[in-house]
Protein backbone atom coordinates (compact mmCIF):
# COMPACT_ATOMS: atom_id res chain seq x y z
CA UNK A 1 0.00 0.00 0.00
CA UNK A 2 1.60 3.29 -1.07
CA UNK A 3 2.04 6.00 1.54
CA UNK A 4 0.85 9.35 0.21
CA UNK A 5 3.56 11.55 1.67
CA UNK A 6 1.88 14.74 0.44
CA UNK A 7 -0.83 14.30 3.06
CA UNK A 8 -0.59 13.47 6.74
CA UNK A 9 -3.88 12.38 8.26
CA UNK A 10 -2.33 10.97 11.42
CA UNK A 11 -4.75 11.19 14.32
CA UNK A 12 -7.74 11.64 12.01
CA UNK A 13 -10.73 9.34 11.82
CA UNK A 14 -12.09 8.64 8.33
CA UNK A 15 -15.40 6.99 7.47
CA UNK A 16 -15.54 5.73 3.90
CA UNK A 17 -18.99 4.59 2.78
CA UNK A 18 -18.99 2.58 -0.41
CA UNK A 19 -15.38 1.61 0.17
CA UNK A 20 -15.05 -2.06 -0.75
CA UNK A 21 -14.38 -1.70 -4.49
CA UNK A 22 -13.28 0.82 -7.09
CA UNK A 23 -12.79 4.42 -6.03
CA UNK A 24 -13.81 3.80 -2.43
CA UNK A 25 -11.35 0.95 -2.02
CA UNK A 26 -8.54 3.09 -3.42
CA UNK A 27 -9.53 5.90 -1.05
CA UNK A 28 -9.55 3.60 1.98
CA UNK A 29 -6.04 2.44 1.17
CA UNK A 30 -4.87 6.00 0.52
CA UNK A 31 -6.22 7.47 3.75
CA UNK A 32 -4.95 4.52 5.81
CA UNK A 33 -1.58 4.87 4.11
CA UNK A 34 -1.49 8.51 5.17
CA UNK A 35 -2.03 7.73 8.85
CA UNK A 36 -5.80 7.94 9.26
CA UNK A 37 -7.80 5.41 11.24
CA UNK A 38 -10.39 4.13 8.80
CA UNK A 39 -13.83 2.58 8.98
CA UNK A 40 -15.03 1.21 5.65
CA UNK A 41 -18.68 0.46 4.94
CA UNK A 42 -20.44 -1.22 2.06
CA UNK A 43 -21.98 -4.39 0.76
CA UNK A 44 -19.90 -7.41 -0.14
CA UNK A 45 -18.36 -9.03 2.91
CA UNK A 46 -15.67 -10.82 0.93
CA UNK A 47 -14.40 -7.57 -0.61
CA UNK A 48 -14.64 -5.77 2.71
CA UNK A 49 -12.71 -8.37 4.65
CA UNK A 50 -10.03 -8.68 1.96
CA UNK A 51 -9.56 -4.91 2.19
CA UNK A 52 -9.19 -5.18 5.96
CA UNK A 53 -6.48 -7.80 5.50
CA UNK A 54 -4.67 -5.75 2.86
CA UNK A 55 -4.63 -2.53 4.86
CA UNK A 56 -3.75 -4.24 8.14
CA UNK A 57 -0.87 -6.11 6.48
CA UNK A 58 0.55 -2.75 5.44
CA UNK A 59 0.30 -1.43 8.99
CA UNK A 60 -2.95 0.50 8.62
CA UNK A 61 -5.82 0.77 11.10
CA UNK A 62 -9.10 -0.34 9.51
CA UNK A 63 -12.47 -1.86 10.32
CA UNK A 64 -15.03 -3.07 7.77
CA UNK A 65 -18.75 -2.82 8.58
CA UNK A 66 -21.16 -4.43 6.15
CA UNK A 67 -23.87 -1.84 5.53
CA UNK A 68 -26.77 -1.25 3.17
CA UNK A 69 -26.77 2.53 2.69
CA UNK A 70 -30.46 2.49 1.77
CA UNK A 71 -31.47 1.40 5.28
CA UNK A 72 -31.51 4.17 7.88
CA UNK A 73 -31.21 1.80 10.85
CA UNK A 74 -28.07 0.29 9.35
CA UNK A 75 -26.58 3.73 8.67
CA UNK A 76 -27.26 4.77 12.27
CA UNK A 77 -25.55 1.62 13.56
CA UNK A 78 -22.64 2.19 11.19
CA UNK A 79 -22.03 5.68 12.49
CA UNK A 80 -22.28 4.59 16.11
CA UNK A 81 -19.71 1.88 15.36
CA UNK A 82 -17.45 4.37 13.59
CA UNK A 83 -17.51 6.76 16.54
CA UNK A 84 -16.69 3.96 18.96
CA UNK A 85 -13.83 2.81 16.77
CA UNK A 86 -12.43 6.19 15.73
CA UNK A 87 -13.36 8.37 18.70
CA UNK A 88 -14.18 11.17 16.29
CA UNK A 89 -15.09 11.22 12.62
CA UNK A 90 -13.07 14.00 11.00
CA UNK A 91 -13.48 12.87 7.39
CA UNK A 92 -16.43 11.23 5.65
CA UNK A 93 -16.64 10.02 2.08
CA UNK A 94 -20.13 9.22 0.81
CA UNK A 95 -19.14 7.14 -2.18
CA UNK A 96 -21.72 4.35 -2.39
CA UNK A 97 -23.55 4.09 -5.68
CA UNK A 98 -24.98 1.85 -8.35
CA UNK A 99 -25.33 2.09 -12.10
CA UNK A 100 -28.57 1.83 -14.00
CA UNK A 101 -29.62 0.18 -17.24
CA UNK A 102 -28.20 1.74 -20.40
CA UNK A 103 -31.52 2.79 -21.89
CA UNK A 104 -33.73 5.82 -22.65
CA UNK A 105 -35.59 7.39 -19.75
CA UNK A 106 -38.99 6.12 -20.90
CA UNK A 107 -37.76 2.52 -20.85
CA UNK A 108 -36.55 2.53 -17.23
CA UNK A 109 -38.69 0.56 -14.80
CA UNK A 110 -40.01 1.92 -11.52
CA UNK A 111 -37.94 -0.68 -9.69
CA UNK A 112 -34.74 0.51 -11.37
CA UNK A 113 -35.65 4.14 -10.64
CA UNK A 114 -36.14 3.37 -6.94
CA UNK A 115 -32.95 1.29 -6.78
CA UNK A 116 -30.77 3.99 -8.33
CA UNK A 117 -32.18 6.95 -6.40
CA UNK A 118 -32.19 5.04 -3.12
CA UNK A 119 -28.57 3.91 -3.34
CA UNK A 120 -27.04 7.00 -4.93
CA UNK A 121 -29.00 9.87 -3.38
CA UNK A 122 -30.81 8.61 -0.30
CA UNK A 123 -27.71 6.74 0.88
CA UNK A 124 -25.61 9.90 0.67
CA UNK A 125 -28.28 11.90 2.52
CA UNK A 126 -28.53 9.26 5.26
CA UNK A 127 -24.77 9.46 5.65
CA UNK A 128 -24.77 13.22 6.04
CA UNK A 129 -27.64 13.04 8.54
CA UNK A 130 -25.25 11.26 10.92
CA UNK A 131 -22.01 12.97 9.94
CA UNK A 132 -23.04 16.63 10.09
CA UNK A 133 -24.35 16.81 13.70
CA UNK A 134 -21.30 14.91 14.94
CA UNK A 135 -18.89 17.22 13.13
CA UNK A 136 -20.72 20.35 14.30
CA UNK A 137 -20.51 19.12 17.88
CA UNK A 138 -16.81 18.40 17.52
CA UNK A 139 -15.63 21.61 15.88
CA UNK A 140 -15.65 20.71 12.20
CA UNK A 141 -14.76 18.17 9.59
CA UNK A 142 -14.70 17.45 5.88
CA UNK A 143 -17.29 15.55 3.85
CA UNK A 144 -16.90 14.52 0.20
CA UNK A 145 -19.86 13.22 -1.79
CA UNK A 146 -19.26 11.30 -5.00
CA UNK A 147 -21.14 12.66 -7.97
CA UNK A 148 -20.06 12.17 -11.61
CA UNK A 149 -19.56 14.03 -14.84
CA UNK A 150 -23.08 12.70 -15.43
CA UNK A 151 -24.05 15.05 -12.59
CA UNK A 152 -22.95 18.17 -14.47
CA UNK A 153 -23.33 17.14 -18.12
CA UNK A 154 -26.21 15.58 -20.03
CA UNK A 155 -25.45 12.00 -21.02
CA UNK A 156 -28.11 10.07 -22.95
CA UNK A 157 -29.22 6.59 -21.92
CA UNK A 158 -28.15 6.99 -18.30
CA UNK A 159 -30.89 9.47 -17.37
CA UNK A 160 -31.88 8.27 -13.90
CA UNK A 161 -28.26 7.69 -12.89
CA UNK A 162 -27.54 11.20 -14.19
CA UNK A 163 -30.48 12.62 -12.23
CA UNK A 164 -29.19 11.06 -9.01
CA UNK A 165 -25.74 12.53 -9.59
CA UNK A 166 -27.14 16.00 -10.41
CA UNK A 167 -29.11 15.80 -7.15
CA UNK A 168 -25.92 15.03 -5.23
CA UNK A 169 -24.38 18.26 -6.54
CA UNK A 170 -27.41 20.28 -5.47
CA UNK A 171 -27.69 18.70 -2.04
CA UNK A 172 -23.97 19.16 -1.46
CA UNK A 173 -24.24 22.89 -2.18
CA UNK A 174 -27.21 23.39 0.10
CA UNK A 175 -25.70 21.42 2.98
CA UNK A 176 -22.38 23.24 2.63
CA UNK A 177 -24.08 26.60 3.04
CA UNK A 178 -26.04 25.39 6.06
CA UNK A 179 -23.00 24.30 8.05
CA UNK A 180 -20.14 26.48 6.80
CA UNK A 181 -20.00 28.60 9.98
CA UNK A 182 -19.71 25.42 12.02
CA UNK A 183 -16.40 24.49 10.44
CA UNK A 184 -17.80 21.63 8.36
CA UNK A 185 -16.74 21.67 4.72
CA UNK A 186 -18.86 19.69 2.26
CA UNK A 187 -17.80 19.20 -1.34
CA UNK A 188 -18.61 16.87 -4.19
CA UNK A 189 -16.26 15.14 -6.56
CA UNK A 190 -17.29 14.41 -10.14
CA UNK A 191 -15.12 11.74 -11.73
CA UNK A 192 -15.13 11.13 -15.43
CA UNK A 193 -14.73 7.58 -16.72
CA UNK A 194 -12.83 5.49 -14.20
CA UNK A 195 -11.40 2.00 -14.52
CA UNK A 196 -13.99 0.31 -12.31
CA UNK A 197 -16.55 -2.45 -12.52
CA UNK A 198 -19.35 0.13 -12.44
CA UNK A 199 -18.24 1.69 -15.73
CA UNK A 200 -17.87 -1.69 -17.38
CA UNK A 201 -21.31 -2.83 -16.23
CA UNK A 202 -22.97 0.41 -17.26
CA UNK A 203 -21.82 0.39 -20.88
CA UNK A 204 -21.41 -3.36 -21.48
CA UNK A 205 -22.70 -4.30 -24.92
CA UNK A 206 -23.27 -0.66 -25.88
CA UNK A 207 -20.03 1.34 -25.92
CA UNK A 208 -16.48 -0.07 -25.75
CA UNK A 209 -14.52 1.36 -22.82
CA UNK A 210 -11.69 2.02 -25.31
CA UNK A 211 -14.02 4.35 -27.24
CA UNK A 212 -14.90 6.22 -24.04
CA UNK A 213 -11.20 6.63 -23.31
CA UNK A 214 -10.52 7.94 -26.79
CA UNK A 215 -13.36 10.44 -26.39
CA UNK A 216 -11.68 12.24 -23.48
CA UNK A 217 -9.22 15.06 -24.22
CA UNK A 218 -6.49 13.19 -22.32
CA UNK A 219 -7.24 10.07 -24.33
CA UNK A 220 -7.63 7.68 -21.42
CA UNK A 221 -9.80 6.78 -18.47
CA UNK A 222 -8.59 7.44 -14.96
CA UNK A 223 -7.48 5.01 -12.31
CA UNK A 224 -9.32 4.83 -8.99
CA UNK A 225 -6.12 6.04 -7.31
CA UNK A 226 -6.29 9.33 -9.22
CA UNK A 227 -9.78 10.00 -7.89
CA UNK A 228 -8.74 8.99 -4.38
CA UNK A 229 -5.91 11.52 -4.44
CA UNK A 230 -8.37 14.27 -5.38
CA UNK A 231 -10.58 13.22 -2.48
CA UNK A 232 -7.59 13.48 -0.17
CA UNK A 233 -6.92 17.02 -1.33
CA UNK A 234 -10.52 18.04 -0.64
CA UNK A 235 -10.19 16.64 2.91
CA UNK A 236 -6.80 18.22 3.56
CA UNK A 237 -5.88 21.60 5.02
CA UNK A 238 -4.76 22.61 1.51
CA UNK A 239 -8.46 22.80 0.64
CA UNK A 240 -9.39 24.60 3.85
CA UNK A 241 -11.10 27.44 1.97
CA UNK A 242 -13.06 25.15 -0.36
CA UNK A 243 -16.66 24.26 0.37
CA UNK A 244 -19.84 23.74 -1.63
CA UNK A 245 -17.85 22.96 -4.76
CA UNK A 246 -17.90 20.12 -7.26
CA UNK A 247 -14.39 19.09 -8.27
CA UNK A 248 -14.33 17.70 -11.80
CA UNK A 249 -11.69 15.01 -12.26
CA UNK A 250 -12.56 13.97 -15.79
CA UNK A 251 -9.59 14.29 -18.13
CA UNK A 252 -11.12 17.38 -19.67
CA UNK A 253 -14.36 15.63 -20.67
CA UNK A 254 -16.62 18.51 -19.62
CA UNK A 255 -14.47 21.34 -20.95
CA UNK A 256 -16.33 21.56 -24.23
Task: List, for residues 148-184, the tens digit of each pLDDT value.
Answer: 999 999 889 999 999 999 999 999 999 999 999 999 9
- Cβ count near 143 (within 10 Å): 28
- String of b and e for 78-108 (b: at least 16 CB within 10 Å)? bbebbbebbebbbbbbbbbbbbbebbeeeeb
Q: Count CB atoms within 10 A of the CB of residue 120.
A: 29
Mean pLDDT by 10 residues, the chain (256 residues): 70 97 96 98 95 96 97 98 98 94 94 96 98 98 97 91 97 98 98 84 79 88 95 97 97 88
Residues in the chain: 256
- Is 7 part of the annotated catalytic residue set? no
Euclidean distance between CA atoms 110 and 149, whole angstroms = 24
Q: Which fold has domain 13-246?
A: Rossmann fold (3.40.50)
Instruction: Give the pLDDT confidence score for residue 49 in this predicted structure.
Output: 96
Provide the CB-side half-sphere exposure for 106 (13 A, CA).
0
Active-site residue (options: 161, 193, 227, 246): 161
DSSP single-letter state for residue 68: -
Cut 0.85: pTM above it: yes
Amino acid sequence: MPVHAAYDFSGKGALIIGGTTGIGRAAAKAFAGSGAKVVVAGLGAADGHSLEVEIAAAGGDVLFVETDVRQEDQMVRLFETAVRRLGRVDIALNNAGVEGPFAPVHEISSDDFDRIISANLKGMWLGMKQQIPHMLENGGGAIVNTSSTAGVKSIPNVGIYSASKHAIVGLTKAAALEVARGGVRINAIAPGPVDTGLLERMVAGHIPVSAIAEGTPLGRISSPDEIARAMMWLCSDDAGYVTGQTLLVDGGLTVS
